C-alpha cells in the first residue's frame, strides 16, 4: 500500500497555485490545497480542485500512431520518431529548413520549451519556433519591452491585496485568474477602490467601486483620455517623469485630442466617470494596473499595452510595492515558455535573435551554426502553409483547430502541408490531421518547472506514471534531437536541462531544482545566493529611461456593417479552459458549463424576439455557428460574447485573423457579426 | 423534445364564470414545448374526452395537461382517456383551477385568470419532465370492515358475507339496528321494522364469515386500499387489530334535538317524532295531535330538507287514526314532500281518513301554549285569512336529521372530508356517489345525507358492491409513486433508512463493492419522507422528482415575478 | 406603485391539506388569489431546499400544510416536517430573511374553513411584511 | 524523523497497534499531510497541524482496503470522526485517534469553544475561546441589515466549492446537490443565495465548527460565523450539538425523540 501526497503546481491558469495530488497505489484520488503555499494559502478555484480529474481518463493517448493511407495505426516509438526525422530532413533539404515550423506549448515545463526551441534551432536549423503566447500576451512583450525594457508582470500576486487602487481592464479576473481575483476582493474588503473597465459586467465589476463599459476596440481612446486629464490637471508625478521617462512632450501632444467628450463619443464611457477614474488613479499612493486578453488581443494590442504603461509612468506607479503594470498571463507556463526562448525572435532569456553577439553566444553554447533571421510566428505559419511556403509543422500540445482565429483558413493551411506531426495527451480537433501522433505525459506525470504570471518559478513533480507508452515531452524532444544527429540533447533529467538553460539565460542564472526544494525563486534571479527580484524596475529601468508611447485611437480591423451590425468578442469562462481538452474531460467542470452559448444584451434580445435558451445562429464574414442564447443585462447593447472552449460551436469559426502588425496577435476581441434565430 | 397538449375546461360555468378560459388557453400556447392548447365545455363528458383523444392523435402529443377540477376525483378518468389514445397514463398532469381557483376567487375574475395561468405554467413545467410509468399491483386482504350497524351497515354486511367475504361489523351500541330500532313500523307500506331488521341480522349471523363487534368503536385506521389496519376497541377497552382490504362507513345520523322551539322541554305534551314512535309502540295513542313540520329545518343555518319527515308524520297520523278512528289529527306544514307514488297515495289516504293538512308560513309560525293542563295551538290559515285554534293531547315536532356527535374525529381518523354541516362528502355526487376520494373507503346511509330507509338500503347494497371489487379482483393497482435511488449519487449515509416509516430501505453493496441505499418497492408507500431526508437528491420519488418540483417553482418565479417586474 | 400583490407558493399533502383545499373549494369559501398550490404525497416530502430556492429568488411567502400530528397517512411523516422547518426558519432569520415568510401549519381533509383561514391570514401577514427584498437584489 | 515524529510513531504503531499513520510534516519547504505505513520514516512531524486531517482521510479511505489507521486528531477531528462513523463512512474499529490539544493561537484562529480531545497525547489543554464576536454583532442587527451584510458577502462567492470539498463532514462530494442546476438558480457566478441556505441546512445537524470552510474561502466569507449562528439555533430548538457518536440527529427522530419507524406497521 503506497500512499503519496505529491506537491505540484496547477496545470490551468497563470496564478501558479500549489496543491498536493493524493496517490494510492498509482491511482490519483484527490487534490488537497497546500496550506502554506505563498500564492494559494490553502485555497484553490474550482479548476484547481478538479485538476486530477482528466489525468487517468480512458481516452488518454497511450501509443505513437502513424498514418497508413487514410488510417492511423499503432507504431513503436522508433518507427514514429524515425518517420518524423526522415520526413523533416526530406522537406528541409528540398525546400530549406525555413519551410519547417515547430510549435511548443505554454502548457509545457520550462525545460521542455527550452529543448523544443533548441530542437528547431539546433536540430532542424530554423527560427520558426513559436507557441500560443502569440495568441495571448505577444502584444504585452512587444508593448512593455518598448515602455519598460521588459514584458513581464512588474509586481507579485500577494501585492494586489495591499493596493489602494486597482485599475482592471480587459480581464474578467475572478473567472480567468480566480486566486488573483481573490486578492483583489480582499483589497476591496479592506477599502481599496477598484475600477473595472470591460464591455461586460463581470463577477469582479459587480463588487467594484466603479464599473465602466467601453465599446470593444476603443481602449486607447479612454486610456489616452485619462492620460490627458492627469496631464492637464497636473496630477502627474513631475519628479518621476523628468528623471525616469522620455518622450513626455510627444505623449502630451498625442493625447491632446482625447477630451472627455470625445472619449465618450468614441467609447461610450461617461465623461464625468472618466475624470473621476483619472483623479482616483493619479491620487492613490499604491495603484495596480491589471490587464489580460481584453487589452492584448486587438489589431492595435501592442499600442493599448503601451498606453497603459504611459499611465503608470505618468503617476510614478511603477517599481514600487503594490504599484505597477501587471499583464495576467493566462496559461500555467506561458511566461516560462517565452522565458525559455520558444519565440521566433528571441533566444532563451529574451536575448534577441537579430543581435549578432547573441547569435554568436548561442552558437558557441550549443556548438552549432544557427539560422540568420528571426522565424515566422504561429499565426503567420498557417497563412504561409496555405500558400505552400511552410511544408511541415511539428506541433507540441497546440489545438490550433479550436484556438486559432478563422479556423476554416487554418484547416486549409494544415491540409496543404506535406508533413504534420503532433504530440498531445488526448486526441483533439487538430491531431485528426496529423501523419504522426506522439502520446505525451501530462503535468502529473513528469518533473519540471512552470513560471507563473508573477515570475515565480514553481516546481512540478511527478505523481503517477504516464499511461501506456506515453513519454514526457522533454524525453520526446531529446530523442528527436539525437535522431537529427544534433549535439546537446542527451539529458537524463529535467534538472540537468534547467542547469543548461540557467547557464545561457542570465535572468534564470540562479535557478536550480535543489534550490527550488527549499525556497521561492522569482526571475530575474541572476545568482545562486539570491531569491530574485519580486518587483521589477525598482529605482530605475534597465534600459535607462522608460519610454512614453504617443499612441492614438484606431478603429478595429473589422467594424460593424449593415450586414453584420453587432460586435462579437470571444474569451473564457471560469469552468472550462481554452480548447477544453482537459476541462471537458473533468465531470464536475463540464457539468457547470457544458453547452456553448452566446451572451447578448436583453434589449437586443427583445428586439430580435430571442428568449433565454433559444437556439440562435451567429455568423460573420468567415462562417457561422449555432448555439444557445444567454440573455443578460450584463453586456452592452450591440455586443455579443462567445466563449471559445466549445469545438461543436467554435467561436473561432467567426473571429477575424487580422494581426497586430508588431506582435502578430489576432484580433479575437472584435469582429463584426450578426444574430438570427436558428 | 416533449409535445405537450393543454386542455382547459369550462366545467359549464363553474370555471368559466370566474376564469377567462380563452385567455388561459392563449397563454398556454406560449409556454415551452406546448404544441396545442384548447378549451372545451365539459372535458369529463364523453364528447370532451373524445376531443382530447382526437387532439392527441392529430398532434402526436406525448404529454397531456387538463386544467379543470380536482385530480382527487377526475384524475383516473383522464388517465384512462390518455391510455385509450395511446399515451402512457402517467404522462398526464392535472391542474386544479376549479376548487383551487374559480370557486374560491369567484369575485376576482381577473386575479383568478392570472392564477389559473400560473398554475397551468407550473403544470406544463412539470409535465415536460414526466417519465412514463407502469402501474404496480399489490395484494388485497380479502376482508371488509363495516363501521355502523344501522340498516345501511347491516345491508352492506349481509351482501358482503353472502359473497363469502369475511366482514367485521363494528357497532357502537350494545345491539344492532341503529335509529330504526326505535321505529316500529316503516311507512308507507307499514312494514314491521323488527321483521326487516331481524331477517337481515339472522342472515348475517348465519354466516361464519361475519364478525360482529358490539359496544365497540374504531380507534385507529392506517394503511391504504388492500392493506388497511383497523384497531377496534371493545367495551372492555381491549384493542383488537384487524387487517382489511376495504372499509365501509355507515355510521348513520341522529335526530336533531329542538332547543325549546314551540315550548319543547317546557310543555310536557310537545314531543319529537321519535318520542311519538316510542309512545305508539307502547300503544299509548293520543286522542288528538298536531304535527308541526320543518321544525329547525329549511331555516338559516340548516337550509336542507331531510325529505323523510313529511312521510313519517303522514305514516304516524294514519296509525293514530287507525288506532282511534275519531282522533283529531292535524299536520301543520310548509310543503308536503311525499315524493313517489306510494308516499303520494299515503298522503291522499290520510286526508280521506280525516287528517287535516294546514299550511303555515315562516312569517306566521303556529303558537303553542298551555291552556290549563291542555295544549292549545293557534295557526293562521291563509285561505280563511283567520286564526284557527285547536287543543291537542300532543304537539309532534317533525325535526331534521343531523350528523352524529363525534363525526369530526371520525373524519380525521378516516382522513375523509365532511361538508359544512358535518355529513361525509362523497368523492363525486354522480361519478363516485358511494366512495370517498381515498381509495378503498366507501360511504352509505344517512352518514352521507338524510335518506329514507329504502334509499339507505339501496346505498348499502351499492357500497357493498363497490367494496367487493378490490377483494374480488384480489389485487389493486398501486400508483407508481414509489421511491427509487440512484446508486451513482448515493453515498450510503443512511438518512433515508432512518427516515422511512415502513423500513422499506436498506443499505446494500454493489458488485464493485460500492455501498448504496435500495428501496423495496413492495413495502414503499410513496410518501417521499426519504426524498426530503436525502441531501444530494440520490433518492427520488416517481411522479414527484426534485427536478419536476424545482421546474414548477421556476415556472412560478418566471411567470409571476417577471410579469410583475 | 400599485398595491403589493404577493406571490405565494404552498405545498399541500394529498391526503389532508389538499383535500381540505378541495373542500374549501366545494364549499365556495372565498380567499385571496395569491397562493399557488403544489400537490405532494406527504408534508414530509417537502424539502426545505425548495423554500430556500423560492424565497431566495423573490417568492414572497412559502406555506407548507400537512396533516395534524397523529393523523399523517404515513404515520410519522409530519413529525419530520415539524422537526425540520423550524431549523429552516431559523436559518432564514440568521441570514436576514423574515422567517415569517415560511409558515408550517396543519389542515385536515375535513377543515375547509381552517384552510381558508390559514390562507387569508398568511396573505395578510405577507402583505404586512411587504415584498421579498431578494426580488430586486441580483447577486 | 524529528523527536515529535519518533514519539508519534511509538504511540501510533506500538501503543495503538496501527498499520498506518496520518499526520502533518515538513516537506519541500511546506507543511504537508503525510500518510505513512508502519516502518516507514514518519519525517519531521509538526503538531501545529494546518490541515483537517479527517477530510484528507475521507478521500483516501475508500482505496485503503484493510488495516488500522491512526490519525492525529484534535477535538474537532474527533467530533468529525464521530459524525462520519455514525453515518457508516468509516468503520470505527479501523480508526485510532492520537489526541492533540490545540494551542492558544489555534483556538483564537478557530474561535473554538471546545478545543480539548477526549484523550490528550500531545499539547497542553487550553480554555476554549469566547463566543464569535461577529456573530454577536449580527444578532443585534435588524433583519434588513443582516440581509445586506450577507448579500454583500455572498456576492463575492466564486463557486470554487472549497467550503464543501474541504469540509470533513460534507461527504456527498461527487454528487453534491449544490452543483445541480435546480436548487441554485444561476448561470454565472456568484451562485444564488439558495446555495448558502441549502448548505447551512445540510450542515445543521453535522457541523463540528472546525472552521475549515471559512479558512478555505478565497473570498474570506465569514462562513464559520454562519455555522455558529445555526449551531445556536439547533441548541435552542433541540438542545443538540453534533459530534457525539451516540446521539441521533433530531432531524431523524419523531417529536418524542424516538426512532421514526415503529415496528407495529410492518406489513
Pairing of strands A193-197, A210-212: parallel
Chain pair A-D, CB pairs under 8 angstroms: 122
CB of B210 within 8 Å of a chain C CB? The answer is no
Our count of domains for chain C comes to: 1
D236 burial (CB, 10 Å; 0-12 / 13-18 / 19+) is exposed
pLDDT band at A204 (very low <50, low <70, confident <90, very high): very high
Asked whether residue D124 is domain-assigned, the answer is no
Residue D260: is its pLDDT beyond 70?
no
Asked whether residue B564 is domain-assigned, the answer is no
CB of B525 within 8 Å of a chain C CB? The answer is yes
- Across B54-175, the runs of DSSP E, i.e. the strands, are 63-68, 92-96, 136-139, 143-147, 166-170
Per-residue pLDDT tens for D23-37?
999 999 999 999 999
Domain range holding C38?
A: 8-129
As a whole-number percent, the residues of chain B with pLDDT over 70 amount to 99
Per-residue pLDDT tens for A76-119?
999 999 999 999 999 999 999 999 999 999 999 999 999 999 99
- Domain identity same for D104 and D156: no
- B 538-557 near C (Cβ less than 8 A): 541, 544, 546, 549-550, 552-553, 556-557
Contact B389, B377 (CB under 8 A): yes
Among B432, B452, B476, the domain boundary falls at B476
As a whole-number percent, the residues of chain A with pLDDT over 70 amount to 100
- Domain identity same for D104 and D152: no
Asked whether residue C137 is domain-assigned, the answer is no
Contacting residues of A for D161, CB less than 8 Å apart = 46, 49, 588
3-state helix, strand, coil in chain B (%, to 5): 35, 25, 40
The Cα A505–Cα A132 span in angstroms is: 21
Grid coordinates standing for C88? 429552516
- Domain identity same for B422 and B466: yes
Grid coordinates standing for B192? 314491521
Cβ separation of C135 and B533 shorter than 8 Å?
Answer: no
Measured between alpha carbons, how far is residue B101 from residues A174, B111, B119 in Å?
A: 47, 9, 9
**Predicted-complex ipTM score:** 0.89
Cβ separation of B564 and C108 shorter than 8 Å?
Answer: no
- Domain identity same for B315 and B271: yes
Cβ neighbour number for residue B108 with a 10 Å cutoff: 15
> What is the nearest CA distance from D162 to chain C, expressed in angstroms?
19
Asked whether residue D176 is domain-assigned, the answer is yes
pLDDT of residue A374: 93
Contacting residues of B for C7, CB less than 8 Å apart = 556, 560-561, 564
Chain pair B-D, CB pairs under 8 angstroms: 69
Pairing of strands A521-522, A456-460: antiparallel
Grid coordinates standing for C89? 426558519
Q: What contacts A104, CB < 8 A, 6 or more positions away?
A: A112, A113, A116, A117, A129, A130, A131, A337, A342, A396, A397
Contact A185, A45 (CB under 8 A): no
Cβ separation of C54 and B557 shorter than 8 Å?
Answer: yes
Nearest 10 degrees: Cα torsion D142, D148, D153, D159 = 120
Among B373, B399, B425, the domain boundary falls at B399
pTM: 0.85
Residue C139: is its pLDDT beyond 70?
no
pLDDT of residue C105: 96
Asked whether residue C1 is domain-assigned, the answer is no
Query: Of B505, B458, B509, B465, whose CA–CA distance to B487 is shortest?
Result: B509
Residue C17 backbone dihedrals phi, psi, to 5 degrees? -65, -35
What's the CATH code of the domain at B497? 3.30.70.20
pLDDT of residue D267: 29
Average pLDDT over chain A reads 94
Q: Is D36 helix (H, G, I), strand (E, B) or coil?
A: strand
Asked whether residue B373 is domain-assigned, the answer is yes
Q: What CATH architecture is A138-328?
A: 3-Layer(aba) Sandwich (3.40)
As a whole-number percent, the residues of chain A with pLDDT over 90 amount to 95
Which residue of chain B is at minimal alpha-carbon distance from D84?
A: B493
Entry field: residues in chain B: 565
- Domain identity same for B239 and B336: no
- Domain identity same for B270 and B320: yes
Cβ separation of D171 and B491 shorter than 8 Å?
Answer: yes
The Cα A478–Cα A490 span in angstroms is: 6
What is the per-residue DSSP string for A431-472?
GGG-SEEEEB--GGG--EEEE-TTSEEEEE---SPPSTT-B-
Cβ separation of A181 and D158 shorter than 8 Å?
Answer: yes
pLDDT band at B426 (very low <50, low <70, confident <90, very high): confident
**Residues A632-652: b if buried by 16+ CB within 10 A, e if exposed:** bebbbebbbbbbbbbbebbbb
Residue B225: is its pLDDT beyond 50?
yes
pLDDT of residue A40: 93
Min mean pLDDT across A39-43, B136-140, B318-322, B331-335 is at B136-140
pLDDT band at B413 (very low <50, low <70, confident <90, very high): confident
DSSP state of B3: -
Residue B530 backbone dihedrals phi, psi, to 5 degrees? -70, -30
Min mean pLDDT across A17-31, A502-516, B229-243, D217-231 is at B229-243
The Cα A338–Cα A133 span in angstroms is: 7
Which residue of chain D is at minimal alpha-carbon distance from A592?
A: D179
> What is the nearest CA distance from B465 to chain D, expressed in angstroms?
27
Cβ separation of D266 and B488 shorter than 8 Å?
Answer: no
Domain range holding D167?
A: 133-252
Query: Of A638, A572, A593, A578, whose CA–CA distance to A294 is shortest?
Result: A572
Per-residue pLDDT tens for A147-195?
999 999 999 999 999 999 999 999 999 999 999 999 999 999 999 999 9
The Cα B545–Cα B126 span in angstroms is: 9
Domain range holding B508?
A: 482-541
Residue B277: is its pLDDT beyond 60?
yes
Q: What CATH architecture is A566-677?
A: Beta Barrel (2.40)
Our count of domains for chain D comes to: 2
Asked whether residue B52 is domain-assigned, the answer is yes
Q: What CATH architecture is A3-49?
A: Single Sheet (2.20)
- Domain identity same for D99 and D22: yes
Give which of B219, B220, B486, B493 to mutate to test D binding, by max D Cβ within 10 Å. B493
Grid coordinates standing for A266? 468614441
Cβ separation of B525 and C21 shorter than 8 Å?
Answer: no
What Rg value do the Cα atoms of chain D yield, rounded?
20
Cβ separation of B532 and C116 shorter than 8 Å?
Answer: no
Contacting residues of D for B507, CB less than 8 Å apart = 88
**Chains with 3 or more CB pairs under 8 A to chain A:** D
> Of D144, D204, D254, which is closest to C79 when you measure between CB atoms?
D254
Cβ separation of A174 and D189 shorter than 8 Å?
Answer: yes
What's the CATH code of the domain at C63? 3.40.50
Q: In what order do the strands lie in the sheet with B356-359?
A: B270-272, B394-397, B288-292, B328-333, B356-359
Asked whether residue B558 is domain-assigned, the answer is no
Our count of domains for chain B comes to: 4
Residue A591: is its pLDDT beyond 90?
no
Cβ separation of C41 and B544 shorter than 8 Å?
Answer: yes
pLDDT of residue B565: 44
The Cα B378–Cα B371 span in angstroms is: 12
The Cα A195–Cα A213 span in angstroms is: 11
CB of D154 within 8 Å of a chain C CB? The answer is yes
Q: D30 in the Ramachandran plot: left (φ > 0), alpha (ψ -120 to 50) or beta?
A: beta
Highest CATH level, class, for A65-132+332-522:
alpha beta
- Taking each helix axis from N to C end, the angle separating A356-365 and A494-504, rounded to the nearest 10 degrees, works out to 140
- E strand or H helix at B231, and its extent? strand B227-233
Contact A5, D35 (CB under 8 A): yes
> Of C25, C50, C112, which is closest to B100 when you measure between CB atoms?
C25
Q: Pick the residue with more confidence: A23 or B187?
A: A23
Asked whether residue C3 is domain-assigned, the answer is no
The Cα A309–Cα A330 span in angstroms is: 20
The Cα A143–Cα D54 span in angstroms is: 50
- Domain identity same for D100 and D8: yes
What is the per-residue DSSP string for A617-672?
EEEETTEEEEEEEEEESSB-TTEEEEETT-GGG-GGGT-EEEE-TTT--EETT-EE
Contacting residues of C for D254, CB less than 8 Å apart = 76, 79
Amino acid at each position: 500500500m503506497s500512499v503519496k501526497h505529491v506537491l505540484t503546481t496547477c496545470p490551468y491558469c497563470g496564478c501558479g497555485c500549489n496543491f498536493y495530488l493524493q496517490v494510492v497505489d498509482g491511482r490519483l484520488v484527490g487534490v488537497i490545497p497546500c496550506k502554506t503555499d505563498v500564492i494559494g494559502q490553502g485555497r484553490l478555484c474550482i479548476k484547481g480542485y478538479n485538476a486530477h480529474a482528466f489525468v487517468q481518463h480512458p481516452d488518454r493517448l497511450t501509443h505513437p500512431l502513424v498514418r497508413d493511407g487514410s488510417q492511423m495505426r499503432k507504431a513503436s516509438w522508433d518507427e514514429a520518431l524515425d518517420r518524423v526525422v526522415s520526413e523533416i530532413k526530406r522537406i528541409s533539404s528540398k525546400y530549406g529548413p525555413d519551410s519547417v515550423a515547430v510549435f511548443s506549448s505554454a502548457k509545457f515545463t520550462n525545460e521542455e520549451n527550452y529543448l523544443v526551441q533548441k530542437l528547431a534551432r539546433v536540430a532542424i536549423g530554423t527560427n520558426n519556433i513559436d507557441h500560443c503566447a502569440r495568441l495571448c500576451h505577444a502584444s504585452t512583450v512587444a508593448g512593455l519591452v518598448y515602455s519598460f525594457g521588459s514584458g513581464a508582470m512588474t509586481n507579485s500576486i500577494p501585492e494586489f491585496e495591499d493596493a489602494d487602487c486597482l485599475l482592471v481592464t480587459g480581464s474578467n479576473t475572478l473567472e480567468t485568474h480566480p486566486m488573483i481575483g481573490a486578492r483583489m476582493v480582499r483589497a476591496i474588503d479592506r477599502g481599496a477602490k477598484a475600477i473595472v473597465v470591460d464591455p461586460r459586467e463581470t463577477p469582479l465589476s459587480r463588487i467594484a467601486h466603479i464599473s465602466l463599459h467601453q465599446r470593444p476596440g476603443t481602449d486607447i481612446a479612454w486610456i489616452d483620455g485619462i492620460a490627458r486629464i492627469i496631464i492637464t490637471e497636473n496630477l502627474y508625478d513631475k519628479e518621476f517623469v523628468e528623471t525616469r521617462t522620455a518622450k513626455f512632450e510627444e505623449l502630451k501632444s498625442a493625447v491632446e485630442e482625447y477630451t472627455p467628450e470625445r472619449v465618450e463619443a468614441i467609447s461610450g464611457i461617461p465623461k464625468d466617470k472618466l475624470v473621476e477614474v483619472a483623479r482616483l488613479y493619479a491620487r492613490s499612493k499604491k495603484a495596480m494596473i491589471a490587464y489580460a486578453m481584453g487589452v492584448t488581443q486587438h489589431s492595435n494590442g501592442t499600442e493599448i499595452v503601451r498606453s497603459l504603461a504611459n499611465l503608470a509612468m505618468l503617476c510614478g506607479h511603477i517599481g514600487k510595492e503594490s504599484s505597477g503594470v501587471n499583464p495576467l498571463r493566462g496559461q500555467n507556463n506561458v511566461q516560462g515558455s517565452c522565458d525559455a526562448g520558444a519565440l521566433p525572435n528571441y533566444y532563451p532569456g529574451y536575448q534577441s535573435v537579430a543581435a549578432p553577439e547573441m547569435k554568436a553566444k548561442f552558437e558557441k553554447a550549443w556548438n552549432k551554426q544557427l539560422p540568420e533571421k528571426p522565424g515566422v510566428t504561429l499565426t503567420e505559419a498557417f497563412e504561409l502553409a496555405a500558400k505552400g511556403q511552410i511544408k511541415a509543422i511539428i506541433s507540441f500540445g497546440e489545438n490550433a483547430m479550436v484556438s486559432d482565429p478563422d479556423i476554416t483558413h487554418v484547416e486549409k493551411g494544415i491540409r496543404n502541408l506535406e508533413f504534420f506531426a503532433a504530440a498531445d495527451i488526448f486526441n483533439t480537433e487538430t491531431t485528426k490531421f496529423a501523419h504522426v501522433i506522439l502520446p505525451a505525459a501530462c503535468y502529473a506525470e513528469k518533473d519540471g518547472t512552470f513560471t507563473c504570471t508573477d515570475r515565480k518559478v514553481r516546481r512540478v513533480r511527478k505523481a503517477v506514471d504516464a499511461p501506456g507508452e506515453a513519454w514526457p515531452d522533454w524525453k520526446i524532444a531529446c530523442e528527436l534531437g539525437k535522431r537529427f544527429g544534433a549535439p546537446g540533447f542527451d539529458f537524463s533529467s529535467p534538472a540537468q536541462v534547467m542547469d543548461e538553460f540557467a547557464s545561457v539565460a542570465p535572468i534564470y542564472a540562479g535557478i536550480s531544482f535543489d534550490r527550488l526544494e527549499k525556497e521561492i525563486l522569482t526571475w530575474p534571479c541572476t545568482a545562486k545566493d539570491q531569491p530574485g527580484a519580486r518587483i521589477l524596475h525598482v529605482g530605475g529601468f534597465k534600459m535607462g529611461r522608460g519610454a512614453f508611447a504617443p499612441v492614438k485611437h484606431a478603429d478595429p480591423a473589422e467594424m460593424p456593417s449593415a450586414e453584420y451590425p453587432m460586435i462579437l468578442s470571444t474569451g473564457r469562462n471560469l469552468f472550462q479552459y481554452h480548447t477544453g481538452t482537459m476541462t471537458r474531460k473533468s465531470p464536475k467542470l463540464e457539468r457547470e458549463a457544458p453547452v456553448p452559448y452566446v451572451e447578448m444584451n436583453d434589449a437586443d434580445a427583445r428586439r430580435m424576439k430571442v428568449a433565454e435558451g433559444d437556439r440562435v445562429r451567429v455568423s460573420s464574414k468567415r462562417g457561422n455557428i449555432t448555439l444557445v442564447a444567454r440573455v443578460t443585462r450584463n453586456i452592452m447593447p450591440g455586443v455579443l460574447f462567445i466563449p471559445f472552449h466549445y469545438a461543436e460551436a467554435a467561436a473561432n469559426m467567426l473571429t477575424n485573423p487580422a494581426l497586430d502588425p508588431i506582435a502578430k496577435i489576432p484580433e479575437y476581441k472584435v469582429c463584426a457579426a450578426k444574430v438570427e434565430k436558428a | 423534445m416533449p409535445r405537450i397538449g393543454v386542455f382547459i375546461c369550462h366545467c359549464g360555468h363553474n370555471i368559466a364564470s370566474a376564469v377567462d378560459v380563452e385567455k388561459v388557453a392563449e397563454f398556454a400556447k406560449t409556454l415551452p414545448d406546448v404544441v396545442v392548447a384548447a378549451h372545451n365545455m365539459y372535458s369529463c363528458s364523453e364528447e370532451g374526452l373524445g376531443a382530447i383523444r382526437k387532439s392527441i392523435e392529430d398532434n402526436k402529443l406525448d404529454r397531456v395537461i387538463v386544467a379543470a377540477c380536482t385530480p382527487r376525483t377526475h384524475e383516473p378518468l383522464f388517465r384512462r382517456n390518455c391510455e385509450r389514445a395511446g399515451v402512457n397514463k402517467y404522462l398526464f398532469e392535472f391542474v386544479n383551477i376549479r376548487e383551487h381557483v374559480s370557486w374560491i376567487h369567484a369575485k376576482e375574475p381577473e386575479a383568478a385568470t392570472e392564477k389559473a395561468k400560473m398554475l397551468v405554467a407550473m403544470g406544463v413545467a412539470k409535465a415536460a419532465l414526466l417519465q412514463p410509468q407502469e402501474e404496480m399491483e399489490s395484494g388485497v386482504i380479502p376482508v371488509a370492515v363495516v363501521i355502523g350497524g344501522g340498516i345501511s351497515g347491516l345491508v352492506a354486511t349481509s351482501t358482503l358475507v353472502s359473497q363469502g367475504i369475511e366482514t367485521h361489523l363494528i357497532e357502537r351500541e350494545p345491539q344492532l339496528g341503529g335509529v330504526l330500532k326505535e321505529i316500529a313500523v316503516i311507512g308507507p307500506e307499514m312494514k314491521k321494522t323488527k321483521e326487516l331488521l331481524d331477517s337481515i341480522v339472522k342472515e348475517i349471523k348465519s354466516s361464519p364469515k361475519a364478525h360482529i363487534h358490539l359496544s365497540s368503536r374504531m380507534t385507529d385506521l392506517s394503511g391504504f386500499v388492500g392493506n388497511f389496519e383497523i384497531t377496534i376497541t371493545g367495551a372492555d377497552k381491549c384493542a383488537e387489530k384487524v387487517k382489511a382490504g376495504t372499509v365501509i362507513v355507515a355510521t348513520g345520523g341522529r335526530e336533531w334535538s329542538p332547543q325549546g322551539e314551540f315550548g319543547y322541554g317546557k310543555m310536557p305534551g310537545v314531543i319529537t317524532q321519535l318520542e311519538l314512535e316510542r309512545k305508539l309502540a307502547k300503544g299509548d295513542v293520543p286522542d288528538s295531535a298536531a304535527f308541526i313540520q320543518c321544525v329547525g329545518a329549511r331555516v338559516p343555518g340548516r337550509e336542507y330538507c331531510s325529505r323523510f319527515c313529511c312521510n313519517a308524520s303522514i305514516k304516524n297520523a294514519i296509525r293514530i287514526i287507525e288506532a282511534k278512528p275519531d282522533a283529531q289529527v292535524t299536520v301543520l306544514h310548509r310543503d308536503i314532500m311525499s315524493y313517489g307514488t306510494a308516499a303520494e297515495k299515503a298522503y291522499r289516504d290520510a286526508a280521506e281518513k280525516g287528517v287535516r293538512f294546514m299550511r303555515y308560513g315562516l312569517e306566521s309560525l303556529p303558537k303553542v301554549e298551555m291552556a290549563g293542563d291542555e295544549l292549545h295551538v293557534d295557526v293562521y290559515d291563509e285561505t280563511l285569512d283567520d286564526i284557527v285554534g285547536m287543543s291537542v293531547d300532543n304537539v309532534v315536532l317533525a325535526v331534521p336529521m343531523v350528523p352524529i356527535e363525534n363525526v369530526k374525529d371520525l373524519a380525521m381518523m378516516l382522513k375523509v372530508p365532511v361538508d359544512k354541516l358535518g355529513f361525509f362528502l362523497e368523492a363525486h355526487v354522480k361519478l363516485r356517489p358511494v366512495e370517498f376520494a381515498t381509495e378503498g373507503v366507501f360511504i352509505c346511509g344517512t352518514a352521507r345525507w338524510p335518506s329514507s330507509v329504502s334509499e339507505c338500503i339501496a346505498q348499502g347494497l351499492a357500497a357493498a358492491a363497490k367494496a367487493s371489487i378490490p377483494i374480488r379482483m384480489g389485487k389493486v393497482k398501486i400508483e407508481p409513486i414509489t421511491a427509487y435511488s440512484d446508486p451513482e449519487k448515493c453515498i450510503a449515509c443512511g438518512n433515508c433508512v432512518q427516515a422511512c416509516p415502513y423500513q422499506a430501505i436498506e443499505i446494500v453493496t454493489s458488485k464493485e463493492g460500492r455501498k448504496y441505499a435500495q428501496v423495496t418497492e413492495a413495502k414503499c408507500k410513496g410518501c417521499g419522507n426519504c426524498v426530503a431526508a436525502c441531501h444530494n437528491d440520490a433518492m427520488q420519488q416517481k411522479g414527484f422528482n426534485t427536478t419536476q418540483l424545482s421546474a414548477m417553482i421556476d415556472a412560478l418565479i418566471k411567470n409571476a415575478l417577471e410579469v410583475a417586474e | 406603485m400599485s398595491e403589493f400583490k404577493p406571490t405565494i407558493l404552498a405545498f399541500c399533502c394529498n391526503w389532508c391539506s389538499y383535500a381540505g383545499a378541495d373542500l374549501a373549494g366545494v364549499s365556495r369559501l372565498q380567499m385571496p388569489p395569491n397562493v399557488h398550490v403544489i400537490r405532494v404525497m406527504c408534508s414530509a416530502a417537502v424539502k426545505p431546499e425548495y423554500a430556500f430556492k423560492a424565497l431566495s429568488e423573490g417568492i414572497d411567502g412559502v406555506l407548507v400544510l400537512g396533516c395534524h400530528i397523529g393523523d399523517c397517512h404515513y404515520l410519522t411523516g409530519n413529525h419530520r416536517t415539524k422537526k425540520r422547518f423550524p431549523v429552516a426558519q431559523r436559518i432564514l432569520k440568521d441570514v436576514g430573511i423574515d422567517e415569517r415568510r415560511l409558515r408550517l401549519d396543519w389542515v385536515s381533509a375535513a377543515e375547509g374553513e381552517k384552510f381558508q383561514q390559514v390562507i387569508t391570514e398568511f396573505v395578510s401577514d405577507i402583505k404586512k411584511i411587504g415584498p421579498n427584498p431578494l426580488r430586486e437584489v441580483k447577486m | 524523523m524529528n523527536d515529535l515524529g519518533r514519539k508519534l510513531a511509538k504511540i501510533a504503531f506500538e501503543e495503538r497497534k496501527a498499520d498506518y499513520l496520518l499526520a502533518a510534516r515538513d516537506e519541500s519547504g511546506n507543511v504537508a499531510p503525510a500518510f505513512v505505513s508502519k516502518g516507514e520514516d514518519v519525517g519531521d512531524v509538526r503538531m501545529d497541524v494546518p490541515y483537517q486531517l479527517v477530510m484528507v482521510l475521507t478521500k483516501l479511505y475508500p482505496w485503503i482496503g484493510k488495516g488500522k489507521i491512526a490519525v492525529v486528531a484534535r477535538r474537532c477531528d474527533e467530533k468529525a470522526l464521530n459524525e462520519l462513523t455514525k453515518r457508516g463512512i468509516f468503520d470505527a474499529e479501523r480508526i485510532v485517534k492520537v489526541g492533540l490539544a490545540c494551542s492558544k493561537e489555534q483556538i483564537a484562529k478557530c474561535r473554538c469553544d471546545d478545543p480539548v480531545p477526549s484523550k490528550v497525547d500531545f499539547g497542553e489543554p487550553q480554555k476554549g475561546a469566547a463566543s464569535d464576536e461577529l456573530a454577536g454583532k449580527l444578532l443585534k442587527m435588524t433583519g434588513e441589515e443582516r440581509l445586506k451584510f450577507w448579500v454583500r458577502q455572498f456576492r463575492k462567492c466564486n463557486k470554487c466549492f472549497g467550503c464543501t470539498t474541504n469540509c470533513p463532514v460534507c461527504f456527498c462530494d461527487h454528487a453534491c446537490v449544490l452543483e445541480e442546476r435546480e436548487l441554485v438558480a444561476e448561470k454565472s457566478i456568484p451562485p444564488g443565495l439558495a446555495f448558502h441556505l441549502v448548505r447551512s441546512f445540510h450542515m445543521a445537524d453535522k457541523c463540528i465548527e472546525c472552521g475549515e470552510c471559512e479558512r478555505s474561502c478565497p473570498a474570506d466569507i465569514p462562513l464559520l460565523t454562519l455555522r455558529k449562528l445555526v449551531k445556536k439555533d439547533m441548541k435552542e430548538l433541540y438542545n443538540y450539538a453534533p459530534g457525539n457518536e451516540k446521539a441521533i440527529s433530531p432531524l431523524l427522530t419523531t417529536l418524542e425523540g424516538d426512532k421514526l419507524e415503529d415496528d407495529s406497521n410492518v406489513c
